[in-house]
């Protein structure tokens, strides 16, 4: 199997208004710096993934512009660019402006490269702006597709990381139905799970065997050592994922880190959210499976 290279970017949080936090560099300039760095270092990715929190308070016109912008960058890099939704994205505006489709309950899809399956899941949870959730329909869709090719190596991208001992103080921000997802993945040929959302990079194992990597943010770095008071710094980074013979290795690429604390985030409760939807089959139409 040939080497397969993925550039993983998350949380660019582009905006036409005042950016979230008091960023010293415009978010658009930092995202462009990543694309320029990929080109300057001749990384030649086979795929680029922008893993959620694409726009801050984006309108349908903003998402339409973003799609055109990514098309230009994809042409420069000679690689397709895939996106998923994050907690900060507006689903309706994304559906209308980016997909040019309305009333999609979630945006999940599957693509195959070099006899490997790549799943792009939608962990945006409508009732909660921070935590993540995979609804029953999406889990059923994932389960069905994994069983269609049980021996094929699979890699999963979603915005919210899974729970781990080192992240117990951030459970309020993680995927809330870890167990349901891991039950579906158990016994399948999973090569890795790739997430964002934390605004710092992290790597760990779940279910004893599945590696999870959270990429740092394209817009800010957040120091979460104090569980109740997080310090925000201007920052910009991305990951390069290299897959050979079904094994993924990840290289962190920091481009910029401001030393000044530009904002703070107060956190009252660090545990899982108390009110979660029931995992019952929805009557709504299934999302796209491209």
Give 103-149 pLDDT, tens digit per residue.
Answer: 888 999 999 999 999 999 999 998 778 999 999 999 999 999 999 99
Tell me whether residue 289 is in a domain: no
Name residues whose C-beta falls within 8 Å of residue 222's C-beta, 6 or more positions apart in sequence. 198, 199, 200, 230, 231, 232, 233, 265
pLDDT of residue 282: 43
pLDDT for 177-229, tens place per residue? 999 999 999 999 999 999 999 999 999 999 989 999 999 999 999 999 999 99
Tell me whether residue 188 is in a domain: yes
What distances in angstroms separate CA 113 from CA 87, 154, 248, one per listed residue? 28, 10, 14
Tell me whether residue 279 is in a domain: no
Residue 287 has pLDDT above 50, yes or no: no
pLDDT of residue 96: 96
Tell me whether residue 74 is in a domain: yes
Name residues whose C-beta falls within 8 Å of residue 220's C-beta, 6 or more positions apart in sequence. 11, 13, 20, 21, 23, 199, 232, 233, 234, 235, 262
Range of the domain at 142: 4-266
- Model confidence band, residue 175 (pLDDT cutoffs 50, 70, 90): very high
Compute the mean pLDDT over every residue in the chain, rounded to the nearest whole number: 92
> 29-38, 199-208, 268-277: lowest mean pLDDT where?
268-277
* Residue 128: Cβ-neighbour burial (10 angstroms; 0-12, 13-18, 19+): middle
Q: What is the mean pLDDT of residues 67-76?
A: 98
Tell me whether residue 273 is in a domain: no
Residue 290 has pLDDT above 60, yes or no: no
The CATH number of whichever domain residue 88 belongs to comes to: 3.60.21.10
Tell me whether residue 165 is in a domain: yes
What domain count does the chain have? Answer: 1
Q: What is the mean pLDDT of residues 155-177?
A: 96
Tell me whether residue 214 is in a domain: yes
């Amino acid at each position: 199997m040939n080497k397969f290279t993925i550039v993983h970017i998350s949380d660019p949080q582009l905006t036409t208004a005042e950016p979230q936090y008091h960023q010293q560099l415009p978010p658009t300039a930092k995202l462009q710096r990543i694309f320029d760095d990929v080109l300057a270092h001749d990384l030649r990715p086979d795929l680029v993934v922008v893993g959620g929190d694409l726009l801050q308070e984006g309108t349908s016109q903003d998402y339409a512009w973003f799609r055109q912008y990514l098309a230009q960058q994809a042409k420069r890099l000679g690689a397709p660019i895939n996106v998923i939704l994050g907690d900060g994205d507006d689903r309706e505006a994304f559906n209308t402006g980016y997909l040019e489709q309305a009333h999609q309950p979630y945006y999940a899809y599957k693509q195959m490269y070099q006899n490997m399956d790549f799943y792009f899941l939608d962990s945006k949870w409508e009732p909660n702006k921070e935590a993540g959730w995979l609804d029953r329909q999406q889990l059923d869709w994932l389960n069905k597709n994994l069983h269609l090719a049980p021996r094929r190596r699979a890699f999963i991208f979603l915005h919210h990381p899974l729970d781990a001992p080192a992240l117990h103080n951030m459970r309020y921000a993680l995927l809330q139905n870890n167990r349901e997802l891991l039950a579906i993945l158990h016994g399948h040929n999973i090569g890795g799970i790739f997430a964002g959302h934390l605004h710092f990079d992290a790597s760990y194992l779940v279910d004893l065997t599945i590696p999870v990597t959270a990429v740092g943010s394209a817009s800010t770095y957040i120091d979460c050592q104090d569980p109740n008071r997080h310090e925000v710094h201007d920052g910009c980074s991305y990951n390069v994922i290299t897959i050979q013979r079904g094994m993924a290795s990840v290289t962190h690429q920091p481009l910029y880190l401001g030393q000044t604390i530009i904002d703070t985030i107060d956190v009252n409760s660090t545990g899982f959210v108390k009110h979660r939807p029931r995992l019952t089959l929805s009557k709504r139409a299934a999302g796209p499976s491209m």
